[in-house]
Amino acid sequence: MGLFDSVFGRSRPVKPDLDQLFGLPSAAITLEIAAGFRPTGTGSVCFATVEGGAFDQVLRDLNDLVEGLRSSRDEYGYTWLLAERPPEDVSALVIDLHAINTALEDGGFGPQLLCSLAAFGHPDGRRLALVYLYKRGTFYPFAPVPGVHEKRDTALEIQVNASVTDDLRLESDLSRWFPVWGAPGL
């Protein structure tokens, strides 16, 4: 960072650190103890839609690598890749999410990566996701209110954020806690 960047308050963007995903298994234990949320075994990766032969090859390679990988497009035009594992095997799910992100990054599609998430459920029907912001290298919780269209449980999000502070690198800027309405697996 140069002198003018310091003077004008500019900083370099945080470099993505996919190894942060490996904090999810300990966060899952914390969430179950602190709030009763258990992993659902689903996770997904979101990116800006890409077309072309190189991208198709990356998807073919991923389908060979990650068993049962499914692709979908949301109403906003983003593509989601959904991975599923047994709920008790959070570590395998994290390895799948890491592999998907790494393959896209290695294929030259890193700039299109937006976020990854791991889903959790509560016996009372509530759902929760721990969302990893690729470009920020941080996590935040997202908790949609069950049965209500596009409404968040912000109190639960704040509670979960406080619970997993020792497990994950958390996003401190709440304006970056973007909703992921309709995310597959959530």
Tell me the three-class secondary structure of 54-92, residue by residue: HHHHHHHHHHHHCCCCEEEECCCCEEEEEEECCCCCHHH
Specify the higher pLDDT residue, 48 or 5. 48
Give the model's confidence band at 12: pLDDT under 50 very low, under 70 low, under 90 confident, else very high: low
Instruction: Quote the pTM value.
Output: 0.90
What mean pLDDT is predicted for residues 39-50? 94
List pLDDT tens digits, range 80-124. 999 999 999 999 999 999 999 999 999 999 999 999 999 999 999
Residues with Cβ within 8 Å of residue 162, at least 6 apart in sequence: none
Instruction: Tell me 146's DSSP state.
Output: T
Buried b (16+ CB within 10 A) or exposed e, 97-133: bbbbbebbbebebeebbbbbbbbbbbeeebbbbbbbb
- The pairing of strands 127-133 and 113-121 is antiparallel
List pLDDT tens digits, range 130-171. 999 999 999 999 999 999 999 999 999 999 999 999 999 999
